[in-house]
Structure 1
């Protein structure tokens, strides 16, 4: 039986799929960071909503990728969870650009 990683690696061999996958990676990283930070604090979306003043539906939309957060909103989330927000630009590994 193939694992998800096996199937993903097969799909990534297709250059069109790879491009689309890489194009959405920053958004997926933001979503994963929000969810991981909230769950590391053992907070529900409702509890985070009360702390930050961001309604629970808004937090849900952030976590399912249907709402793009502003930097200001990310700062509110970080502050509410007692965390610091850091955004980085990372050099690409490939030389061709």
Structure 2
């Protein structure tokens, strides 16, 4: 009988490839940005359509962004921040402290 491996072991093995690690990191960034916008929008009681209107976008663009489907530009992040009553802050963090 073969030994069963945990999900963590399989993921770590797959992410050993630099290309896979890069794609994983990009997906994580998209997901975290989308989740942050969705959480703030919901806290403000806004619909996707309302946020889109204030930010000068279309509702499907907000839906894709919140789902992590697009990598936003800094100007887009600025527009969303203003529409959500926030200030965009961009910075660098040492890898040993990154989540």
Q: Is the shorter-chain TM-score for this pair beyond 0.5, marking a shared fold? A: yes
Q: How high is the TM-score relative to the length of structure 2?
A: 0.71
- Which one has a bigger Cα radius of gyration? 2
Report what 1:32 is aligned to: 35
C-alpha contact (below 8 Å) 2:51/2:83 kept by paired residues: yes
Output the aligned Cα RMSD: 2.2
Q: Which moved more, 1:57-66 or 1:76-85?
A: 57-66
- Structure scoring higher RCO (CA < 8 A, sep ≥ 6) equals 2
Q: What TM-score does the superposition give when structure 1 sets the normalisation length? A: 0.72
Among candidates 29, 50, 55, match of residue 53 of structure 2: 50
Q: Please list every run of 5 or more consecutive structure 2 residues that lacks an aligned counterpart in the other structure.
A: 1-5
Deviates more, 1:71-80 or 1:85-94: 85-94
Structure 1, unmatched stretches of 5+, are 1-9
* 1:83 aligned partner: 86
Selected match of 1:16 from 10, 13, 37: 13
